[in-house]
């Protein structure tokens, strides 16, 4: 197993001082700077939870190391290990929606306790993980990686569905600052994908409430920090054409590994 210790970066955690009780060990964040990764870096920053970055370079195949698969059997980041889980014992969590809910329950922040409000947050959180994320992800694949020629049907299908979802979101945001009223894990889940779509072309211009919401969240200091986390790692990798070729081989055409 390859150790990533040397690459780990400490964020907000501070070492224990002599005579004082030791601080809780930081949460390990298994992460690469993508829309799914930003959800969790934004939440950790919002909650000011101490965490240590464990980069998972998905373009190099680090999501397939036995250590990572033990934490995230789906070979997808993000994932976390909280050394101070239930009963004071470590817990690992994979799937961004499950991580956001876990951190929301742990801190009591951005995930209301009131059942009606919580159901509303869950609705939009699941809307993101089952809808906006996968559809925008496929649209992005056909826009950025597949040849347009011969793939027109798939290109249109995922762009249309992303467009439809943005229309739903735009209606929900009419007269609201955030998806369910107050800023929540549902907004954090959606933000990175909307920010990615904003770079495509003028699709987002058709949805003024979504654009205003995106800017509102972008202005939060925690968004700034969470969004910036690990950016330099990806830039180093993507500016190298050989690494780009390697990335395609690792990421596309995956099949079950037995």
Ligand X SMILES: N[C@@H](CCC(=O)N[C@@H](CS)C(=O)NCC(=O)O)C(=O)O
Q: Which residues bind ligand X (CB under 6 A)?
A: 34, 36, 58, 63, 75-78, 95-96, 129, 251
Nearer to ligand X, 31 or 183 (CB): 31
Rounded CA separation 48/173 (Å) = 27
- The set of residues, in sequence order, having a beta carbon less than 8 Å from that of 182 and lying 6+ positions away, is 112
Which C-beta is closer to ligand X: that of 130 or that of 181? 130
- Nearest-approach distance from CB 75 to ligand X, in angstroms: 5
> Phi, psi at residue 81, to the nearest 5°?
-125, 120
Residue with tokens 């101490």: 50
In the complex, least distance from residue 227 CB atom to ligand X, rounded to whole angstroms? 14
Closest approach, Cβ 63 to ligand X, in A, equals 5
Could you tell me the two tokens for 23? 């601080």
**Which one, 58 or 188, has the nearer CB to ligand X?**
58
Phi, psi for residue 35 in degrees, rounded to 5: -55, -35
- CB nearer to ligand X: give 198 or 251: 251
Shortest distance in whole angstroms from residue 19 CB to ligand X: 41
> Considering the complex, what minimum distance in angstroms separates the CB of residue 199 from ligand X?
15
Task: Retrieve residue 8's tokens.
Answer: 């780990």
- Give yes or no for a contact between 154 and 90, defined as CB atoms under 8 angstroms apart: no
Residue number, 211 or 250, with CB nearest to ligand X = 250
- The sheet carrying 27-31 orders its strands as 9-10, 51-55, 27-31, 79-82, 91-94
């Amino acid at each position: 197993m390859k150790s990533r210790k040397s690459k780990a970066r400490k964020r907000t955690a501070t070492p224990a001082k002599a005579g004082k009780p030791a601080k809780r060990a930081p949460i390990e964040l298994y992460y690469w700077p993508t829309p799914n990764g930003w959800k969790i870096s934004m939440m950790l920053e919002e909650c000011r939870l101490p965490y240590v970055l464990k980069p998972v370079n998905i373009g190099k195949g680090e999501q397939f190391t036995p250590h990572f698969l033990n934490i995230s059997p789906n070979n997808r980041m993000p994932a976390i290990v909280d050394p101070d889980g239930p009963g004071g014992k470590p817990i690992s969590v994979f799937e961004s929606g499950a991580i956001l809910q876990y951190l929301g329950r742990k801190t009591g922040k951005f995930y209301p306790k009131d059942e009606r409000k919580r159901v509303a947050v869950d609705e939009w959180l699941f809307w993101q993980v089952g809808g906006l994320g996968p559809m925008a992800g496929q649209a992005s694949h056909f826009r950025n990686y597949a040849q347009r020629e011969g793939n027109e049907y798939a290109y249109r299908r995922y762009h249309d569905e992303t467009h439809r979802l943005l229309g739903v979101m735009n209606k929900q945001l009419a007269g609201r600052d955030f998806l369910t009223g107050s800023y929540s894990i549902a907004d954090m889940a959606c933000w990175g994908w909307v920010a990615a779509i904003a770079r495509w072309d003028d699709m987002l211009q058709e949805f003024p409430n979504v654009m205003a919401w995106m800017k509102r969240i972008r202005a939060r200091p925690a968004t700034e920090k969470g969004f910036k986390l690990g950016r330099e790692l990806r830039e180093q990798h993507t500016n190298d054409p050989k690494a780009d070729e390697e990335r395609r081989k690792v990421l596309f055409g995956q099949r079950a590994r037995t």
